[in-house]
A = this chain, B = another copy of it.
Amino acid sequence: MYTLNELQQIINNKINSLNIGGEPRGLFEPIEYVLSIGGKRIRPALCLLGYQLFSSEKLSDEIIHPAIGLEIFHNFTLLHDDVMDKADMRRNMPTVHKKWDENTAILSGDAMMIKAYQFITKCPAPVLGEVMDTFNELALGVCEGQQYDMDFENRNDVSVDEYIEMIRLKTSVLIAGSLKIGAIIGGASPKDKELLYDFGEKIGIAFQLQDDFLDVYGDSEAFGKKIGGDIVNNKKTFLLLTALRKAEGRQKDNLYNWLSVTGNDEEKIKAIRKIYNELNIPQDSETLMNNYFNSALKALDQISGDDSVKNDLKHFAINLIKRAR
């Protein structure tokens, strides 16, 4: 049994040793570039943990390749999202549409999604249908989440429930699906597969709520990115949506005034943070996050899998949540 850290390393080494590309170079070079930049390889490592929960067989390509397929898919979504968001940088490196151009980003992204399918297809034949159904559903879910996210930018009536559903689709279903695909290949029972999916879904939502919180209250260095971006962009996170719901009278006017401010970032961040504090938004965020966190652990607890792997998943969850808060 490998720990999460070891599995991340195994995936990373495997990706670096793979020959993903070929000709034409214009199509495959951007794919190799994106995969070489790294990232934490969380999703494939979770897939392998999901497998280890139910199987003590050694890690063959029948599980490692599908896990890598999930990482390729994740990076494909980042590639196309960066085009849509016009993001210039990702992981401190220029994005594909900046380094090459937009057409390259579109087409290499398409090829990358197909590559993801090629890797996932290498799972054992008896579970291929179930793995494909699970993957197709999560892949479509991620697109739906991205669409909701873009839709929300132009809407003024987004509810907290809609926001949670958006982050569930955009962030959680890939985490939950990665765990589940590992469990399917590992031979889990239907009940355990659903419990593990449930764990992943809840942890993913808790993670995103934490991420939103840290974007306002985090330590820039520990968080690894600039603080306040969501406030500057009026991003409709749980924090803002809850503040809009709770604020009344002069406070509400004050909040709306600050939302209309542009080009005065530092003051805007301070002012909106102050409003959040007055409205107890940090506590609301923590409460909701803890609810998801606890219900994730409850699901995990009911799984009848290997105890040391369960413990590893539990610590993964704890580490996700306690980041810099």
Assembly CA distance A130 to B222 (angstroms): 48
CB-CB under 8 A for A140 and B118, given A27-B147, A84-B106, A150-B103: yes
Does A206 belong to the interface (CB within 8 Å)? Answer: no
CB-CB under 8 A for A128 and B117, given A107-B80, A107-B147, A147-B107: no
One of A108-116, A191-199, A232-240, A275-283 contacting the partner: A108-116
Residues of B within 8 A of A224 (CB): none
Assembly CA distance A84 to B144 (angstroms): 23
Does A146 belong to the interface (CB within 8 Å)? Answer: yes
Does A129 belong to the interface (CB within 8 Å)? Answer: yes
Query: What is the CB-to-nearest-CB distance from A108 to chain B, in angstroms, rounded to a whole number?
Result: 8
Query: What is the CB-to-nearest-CB distance from A81 to chain B, in angstroms, rounded to a whole number?
Result: 9
Does A39 belong to the interface (CB within 8 Å)? Answer: no
One of A4-12, A131-139, A241-249, A266-274 contacting the partner: A131-139
Q: Which of A78-120 touch B at CB < 8 Å?
A: 80, 83-84, 103, 106-107, 109-111, 113-115, 117-118
Residues of B within 8 A of A151 (CB): 24, 26
Query: In the complex, are the beta carbons of A143 and B107 less than 8 A apart?
Result: yes
Residues of B within 8 A of A133 (CB): 121
Encode contact with B along A139-157: 1 for CB under 8 Å, 0 otherwise: 1100110111011000000
Assembly CA distance A84 to B106 (angstroms): 8
Sort chain A's interface into a size bin.
20 to 34
Query: What is the CB-to-nearest-CB distance from A43 to chain B, in angstroms, rounded to a whole number?
Result: 17
CB-CB under 8 A for A121 and B111, given A144-B27, A151-B24: no
Assembly CA distance A147 to B150 (angstroms): 29
Assembly CA distance A121 to B130 (angstroms): 10
Does A125 belong to the interface (CB within 8 Å)? Answer: yes
A sample of 20 inter-chain contacts (CB < 8 A) reads A23-B144, A24-B144, A24-B148, A24-B151, A27-B144, A27-B147, A84-B103, A110-B113, A110-B143, A111-B144, A113-B113, A113-B114, A114-B139, A114-B140, A117-B117, A117-B139, A121-B136, A125-B128, A128-B128, A132-B132
